[in-house]
Structure 1
Amino acid sequence: MPIIHPYLTFPGNAEEAFNFYKSVFGGEFTMIQRYKDISGSDNLGPEDADKVMHIGLPIGNGNILMASDAVASMGKGQYTLGDNYSLSLGAQSEDEADRLFNGLSAGGQVTMPLQKTFWGAYFGMWTDKFGMQWMVNYDYNEQQ
């Protein structure tokens, strides 16, 4: 069975939201990375420098709640309430990734075909026929 990691996008308050979630779930952040700390942030506006590029919070049973802030100057400016999440499936094999991708994308819109990626994964993205956004990822490095 795959692991499901919810991935949320916020309009600039991801850190505030995740501090709230941490107060409820407990635990520690797996990482918090800010836009100012990544390469290519030269065009970053000062109002966006401390916004969250990626944050993760374990929420039990191997699940990690993940998020980022939408930042227009870094090409992540799209934020529409109700359309600001994806469910990321952690597959245990290529076959499972194929089965999940083919089954859940049937009748939907594929936004990135399932393929081997430069980061060492078999990955794809789609919106299903009910409007839900999904990702599937089989990480070759974790399986060895």
Structure 2
Amino acid sequence: MLLGVGGVGKTTFAYRLMGLSIRPTVTLRPGIYRIYVADKEINLIDVPGQYVFEVVQNFARMWSFYVDKAVYMYDVLDYQTLRSLVEIHSGLLDRGIKPFKRLAIVGNKMDLAREFGIQVEADEIAGSLGAQEIYYISALKDDPRQLLKIIL
């Protein structure tokens, strides 16, 4: 399950894992992508929403399942996108939803962070959310085999 506000790279990440080279547009409906890795079937759910309220509302509407791992994604150049993860998490908990066993925080757009020399790190917020893993990636440029490790 991929959660985060609009523009952080969730759909780009999903497309790269699928081996698709098409340019993503605004996600209006949930995207469910099936990936096969060795003998595992992985269903990756891309939850739509540009703003915190929309993400929480869209997930709450479609929630009827339990997933092994949630991936909260933010833009390493924009602190507000990291802060929004706290709001999304709180919004889900307020609705009685904690639909995952494991949580990973992913900071995306590291290619741009290196270029501009700035990066918002997630350590403190990841700890407060109970995330077990933190990754810093470039969904556009990193090797898809390395990106795959995030969802396993």
TM-score, scaled to structure 1: 0.29
Say which structure is richer in strand: 1
Structure whose alpha-carbon radius of gyration is higher: 1
TM-score, scaled to structure 2: 0.28
